[in-house]
A and B are shown apart, each in its own frame.
Chain A
Amino acid sequence: MTIFKSFTVKAAGLTALLTALHVAVGVLPHPAHAQASDASSAAFASPRHFGQKDGAALYQAICQGCHMPDAKGATGAGTYPALAGNPNLEAAGYPVAMVVHGQKAMPPIGEFLDDDQVAAVVNYVRTHFGNHYTDTVTAADVKAAR
């Protein structure tokens, strides 16, 4: 469980950046949504299970709610850590465990996703947003972590 301890605030100084990102209602959708792949058709598939299959679509349907479309996280009274360039993603088991079981402000998402979906979104995050981890998480890895 020691890997959990270092997963805290790494987003100091983001406030100014985020202030620049203000989007008023009625203006254009956020760019990250314009490029949603299967997100639109698979959205709201079921109250119990996400319908998206590929990593990008899953990220856009779930993760960016807190970690934001650019994966740079956000800070209010507490902080959602940046996933962009996050060294905690190096050990693949860490993000798998976080997605499945949650921790602190991160709710468990595992009950809403099958093993393939967890693997897809973890692989997506570990290979995007400035992360370049080439080892791949498999559904079997996820199953073992449940």
Chain B
Amino acid sequence: MGFRDMKRRDLLSLIGTVAGSAVMYQAATSLGLAAETTYKGPIKLDGDAKGASILILGAGVAGLVAAIELRKAGYKVQVLEYREKAGGRSWSLRGGDTYTELGGFKQTVGFDKGLYINPGPWRIPYHHRAVLDYCHRYGVALEPFNQVNYNAYLHSAKAYGGKPQRFREIQADYHGHVAELLAKLTHQNALDGTVTKEDQEKLLESLRGWGGLDKNYAYAASLESSNVRGYEKAPGGGMNGAPVPSTPASLRDVMQGGLWRFLGMGLRDEFQSTIFQPVGGMDQFPTALAREVKDLIRFNTKVTEIHQDDHGVTVTYTDTVKGGAAQTAKADWCLCTIPLSVLSQIKLNVGPKMASAISAVPYEAAAKVGLQFKRRFWEQDEAIYGGISFTDLPIAMIGYPNSGYGSPGKGVLLGTYVFGAYAMEYTAMPPEERIKRALAYGAQIHPQYTKEFDTGVAVGWHRVPWTLGCHASWTEETRAAHYQDLCQVDGRIALAGEHASYITGWQEGAVLSSLDAITRLHQRVVTA
């Protein structure tokens, strides 16, 4: 879902932009962020399942993957799902949908046909190989998600007079000044003894190209710098085709403006190209998985108790639509993918270690606001095609649609995507107030907002009825104390989901966790 831990990410952003991506990668690895996927290709559950049965709780991505694979391996599978459809947090809101959050606040989405937002996950990085493999195997069409758009904006109310700056200009000015400084030090022989003369020659050559320096190694108004940051008047054709260079901001303005803080995100392993999105909304992914196992899923089913003994697992549930008395489902084994925010409230007889782990993990606050405008002014007026503008305003970012470029009709932006204190404040507001706030803040970046706004929808994740929070929020301390206990099979019960992974908040974490849990369960069944 994006930001796992704002503080850690801010730190990485700082390290990344100041020290360069190599140092940042090292730091990220030591913090457990940049590890390669452990996905080894399609799972092979060899050995006889001996007709064993399994109850899967939750038809989100983790539960669906498990249902597909366990049925293939010969299990009798039943899936119980609280929602009326599959997908869990992998979810899209499109025109005609109604969404009622906790507290009864109901929204009817007024978006035009084909327009949507993904309130939950919205990106699939190229190295999330498990999710991509399932997308490919089950026919989920993908298209590029532009993380970095050089022509989108970076904005701070406190910098550059509050005027949004193009990503391209800020990055060019930051790189250019750093390159000029390093070139100066090299020419002043400050690197002698540290860097050989031969390497200094190469360094100077690379700095000129990377930083857009002129022949005197200055970062100044020149065709070289404009070739990176853009021109005052771009090269054209005919009589007036000659370009006019643009003037870079001063080092002081670049440093004090602080917009360099936003440059690091797209450099990080998680957000490097290529990133994908399913064509038509993230829910196309779980929908494709659910098609494979639709006969196994019981919807509108609220689990109230999970009980295991020597013979099997009994799950008590109620039907949230039909009501009536509590019912039970029984199986030999249980894979529970219910978010810990909910599972921690369900009666469950696991050992004290797993029970402690289930209660130890809070869930992040997050908020997203989708805004439909009467025209795609960001494309028509500002040449922004997809990608993200970043700001220090409480909306944090504006995400532009990565499809339908140049469409003459309406368009939908992601007008807020925020975590932490701001997300809690958004969540505490009624949806219409969240939309008003998103509009007021966003208009500081795009004045067209005021005239062109049409309709919106807003999601505060702590009010999402099926999850009560965005995603699991682990710390180094809670990982050390509880993570292994959470992942360990307890009797006949195993847990899976993004919370049982080191890739929290990402679908890849849910899939890898699920594959790992069913592999270990299957080993027990085969060797029993």
Contacts and interface: CB of A to CB of B under 8 A. Distances in A.
A65 interface: yes
Contacts of A77: 82, 302-303, 338, 342, 465-468
Contacts of B272: none
What's the dominant secondary structure at chain B's contact region?
Answer: mixed
Contact of A62 (B102, B302, B425): B425
Interface in A73-117: 74-80, 102-109, 112
A76 B428 contact: no
A104 B344 contact: yes
A60 B468 contact: no
A23 B430 contact: yes
Interface string A1-32: 00000001100000000111111111101100
A24 B107 contact: yes
Interface stretch (B186-194, B274-282, B357-365): B357-365
A145 interface: no
B120 interface: no
B107 to A, nearest CB: 5
Contact of A61 (B344, B428, B456): B428
Nearest to A112: B421
Interface in B408-439: 418, 420-422, 424-425, 427-433, 435, 437
Nearest to B303: A77
Nearest to B457: A25
A64 to B, nearest CB: 5
B432 A27 contact: yes
A107 B422 contact: no
A43 B425 CA distance: 8
Contacts of A22: 100, 104-106
B420 A48 contact: yes
B430 A107 contact: no
B128 interface: no
B365 A25 contact: no
Contact of A103 (B346, B359, B363, B425): B359
What's the dominant secondary structure at chain A's contact region?
Answer: loop
Nearest to B347: A8
Given A46-B421, A48-B420, A105 B344 contact: yes
A9 B421 contact: no
B459 to A, nearest CB: 12
Interface string B453-473: 001110010111111110001
B338 A107 contact: no
Nearest to B392: A47
Contacts of A108: 362
Given A22-B105, A47-B422, A78 B432 contact: no
Given A24-B106, A74-B103, A77-B342, A50 B421 contact: yes
Interface string B332-366: 00000010111011100000000000010011110
B394 interface: yes
Nearest to B425: A61
Interface residues of B, number: 53
Contact of B345 (A8, A20, A26, A65): A8
Nearest to B456: A25
Given A65-B462, A102-B362, A47 B421 contact: yes
Contact of A78 (B100, B107, B342): B342
A139 interface: no
Given A9-B345, A21-B104, A30-B430, A65 B468 contact: no
A66 B345 contact: no
B463 A66 contact: yes
Contacts of A49: 421
Contacts of B200: none
Given A29-B433, A61-B428, A47 B359 contact: no
Given A76-B465, A77-B342, A105-B342, A68 B433 contact: no
A63 B428 CA distance: 7
A146 interface: no
Given A76-B466, A107-B469, A19 B104 contact: yes
A80 B463 CA distance: 10
A64 B394 CA distance: 19
27 contacts: A18-B103, A23-B106, A23-B430, A24-B107, A25-B107, A27-B432, A29-B430, A44-B422, A44-B425, A44-B437, A47-B420, A47-B421, A49-B421, A61-B428, A63-B428, A65-B462, A66-B427, A66-B462, A76-B464, A76-B465, A77-B342, A79-B345, A104-B344, A104-B345, A105-B342, A106-B362, A112-B424
Given A27-B432, A50-B421, 4 more contacts: A33-B433, A49-B421, A77-B338, A106-B362
Interface of A: 8-9, 18-27, 29-30, 33, 43-44, 46-50, 60-66, 68-69, 74-80, 102-109, 112
Interface of B: 6, 82, 100, 102-108, 302-303, 338, 340-342, 344-346, 359, 362-365, 394, 418, 420-422, 424-425, 427-433, 435, 437, 455-457, 460, 462-469, 473
> Top 8 nearest A-B pairs by Cβ distance?
A76-B465, A65-B427, A65-B428, A78-B342, A74-B102, A104-B344, A107-B362, A44-B394
